[in-house]
Structure 1
């Protein structure tokens, strides 16, 4: 019997259990368990849209309990609190139940990463993060509250990586659309970045194109600006004080601190678990890691980047390898195939790597296609097709901006 336990219900974890359940469906000698504290899954690359009120959570959220019942895996709502490698077990805690122990033959860690505040004073107290559905919903509620009051409001976003750039562009789009529904309501958006360009991890020409588009949208971009501290209604930098009614921190990533204390497993400086090219941890061949929480080496000496496409590829690869493993075959190494970085700016302009530029309706189609491919894995094409039709009908009846100011 092979008992697969997957910790984390993000894009990688949910695709992992879906593929495993499909692969071993109907086989009594195998079981698949997902451990996740949240009740619903939302695709992380689109969390910034939830914070802007432009994402349909009613149609596109995945209820773990219902999904597990339909696909044949067990869902345990709780948080992993400990690992015992000798006994091949993990401890799981939740608010509504006593601690329980789950035993595994193969453990897959897919807990993802969170924003890195770099221990900057005041950030954890005065800034909101976009690491989970609950956090972005909190940001959206705060934004909705501001807009309900009318007038002009100032928002600051720290970090001009993909999340910060897309959120700034989405909020700029919302500010423009608001003129149709509520005259006199506007957002003043400031994007703060310590590096000398936006998207510092991308190609120079891509950064330049994104910078021009942000400026055209009216976003105030502060480059070479290091944050010294955050206060109740302001961001304090080395050279100025930037007032804000709402402050978002989207700078850098790290993994949760508890990953650094998993029964002696090796981690790096940002708490990623070190793995071999086969995605097995360096000290335990029965513990695997996929997604942003893995430091996975490649043949050229680099590491797999913390991107959604890398997490999806790793989930698909490892599911196939588990099929080989239970048959006694050797594991093949994971090789990441870079499909380029897709940055959508307000859903009417996007860049895919440093050469391909899309505008207008093609942007929405590209972004939705990537999202639907993820949904295809967890739902199948029939339901995805139905969702596309329902969403199209709903969009014809509702405005772009779904906010309720009553």
Structure 2
């Protein structure tokens, strides 16, 4: 009997155990186990909606316990803390039972990445992060009172990548909607980026359109601005400019958690990603696979797979097929990333996207529909089209009956 353990219940990890549970888990000779400390799955590209109070927990969150029972895999609510490659065991910390060990035949690490504070003084103490649903919920718990209190409030967001841009746009939309309630509260948002443009990894023409839209929404965009240190209620730039704010959110750069560098000698790079071959197998242990943002996976042209949601989704599908080959004694095939472009949401009714190898840049409501479709494709893998269709219909009905900003519903 083969025991496959997948650590990390993000988009890649959950899609992988779903596929493996359906294909292998229902057979008596295979056991598929998901190890994840959280109780519910949230699609990471939508964490900014949780922080802005516009995410629908009832329809879009997934209970790991219920999902596992329906899809042929086991769920262990725990955080991985150690690895012993010689005995093929991992150590996990559980919220109730404490420390335990789990044995595996094959181990898949899909723990994602976190924001990189670049060791900037004061950031960890005085800034919020959006690396998990729990952090996004904490941000919402602090933003919500500001939106309910009359007067102008200030919010600074450091990092104009996809997360920072989408959060700024979503909060700007929420602040605009609040004016309909004559509540007297407004949110002044400043987006800070060290590079010379927002979305520095995207085509220049896409960056221009995104920044123009942000400014139309009332967001102050500061490019070529590097943060020197963070203090309580203010950020100090490299040229000693002071940006005061009621709340400060850090969304600049990525790295992987430090504990990945302590996994029984597995190779890591400077941002703590685990080094793998093009088969997604660890460079030092063929029984350990790594996928998603936590993997440094080489490509034929000498580049590496970028840390994007679509790369993680593609890796999950690829690895599910490779496990089927592995069980039949066939050789593993390399993972080749296919770049499908980039879509960034700027509020619930507008998005900008670069498609066809960045040759076409589109914007508007139809592109926002494409953004939502990407999320529905993720849900389709988890549930199938029948339930996804029902969820879409329910969400549209709720949208007609509920205010856009859920904080005003209570």
Partner of 1:118: 118
Partner of 2:362: 357
1:401 to 392, 395, 405: 405
Give the TM-score, by structure 2 length.
0.97
Partner of 2:385: 381
What is the RMSD of the two structures over their aligned residues, measured on CA atoms?
A: 1.1
Unpaired stretches in structure 2, ≥5 consecutive residues: none
Aligned residues: 405
Partner of 2:141: 141
Deviations 1:97-123 (A, max 9, x none): 131111111100000000001111111
- Following TM superposition, the consecutive aligned residue runs of length 4 or more in structure 1 with deviations greater than 2 angstroms are none
Deviations 1:29-81 (A, max 9, x none): 10000000000000000000111111101111001011111111110000001
Deviations 1:179-202 (A, max 9, x none): 112332111000001111111111
Partner of 1:48: 48
**Greater mean deviation of Cα atoms: 267-276 or 201-210:** 201-210
Partner of 1:38: 38
Deviations 1:184-240 (A, max 9, x none): 211100000111111111111111111111111111111111111111111111231
Matches within 5 A, 1:4-403: 4-239=4-239, 240-353=241-354, 354=358, 355-360=360-365, 362-403=366-407
**Greater mean deviation of Cα atoms: 146-155 or 103-112:** 146-155
Deviations 1:321-377 (A, max 9, x none): 0000010000000000000011111133322214231313x2332121110100010
Give secondary structure in 2 for the equivalent of 1:330.
coil
Partner Cα separation in structure 2 for residue 279 and residue 45 of structure 1: 23
Partner Cα separation in structure 1 for residue 202 and residue 363 of structure 2: 17
Native 8 Å contact 1:144 1:404 kept in 2:
no
Give the TM-score, by structure 1 length.
0.98
**Greater mean deviation of Cα atoms: 137-146 or 350-359:** 350-359
Give secondary structure in 2 for the equivalent of 1:221.
strand
Partner Cα separation in structure 1 for residue 120 and residue 20 of structure 2: 41
Native 8 Å contact 2:146 2:185 kept in 1:
no
Deviations 1:290-333 (A, max 9, x none): 10000000001100000000000000000000000010000000
Deviations 1:243-279 (A, max 9, x none): 1001100000000000001000000000000000000
Native 8 Å contact 1:281 1:287 kept in 2:
yes
Give secondary structure in 2 for the equivalent of 1:248.
strand
Partner Cα separation in structure 1 for residue 201 and residue 221 of structure 2: 17
Native 8 Å contact 1:105 1:286 kept in 2:
yes
Unpaired stretches in structure 1, ≥5 consecutive residues: none
Give secondary structure in 2 for the equivalent of 1:65.
helix
**Deviation, structure 1 residue 404:** 3.6
Partner Cα separation in structure 2 for residue 231 and residue 26 of structure 1: 53
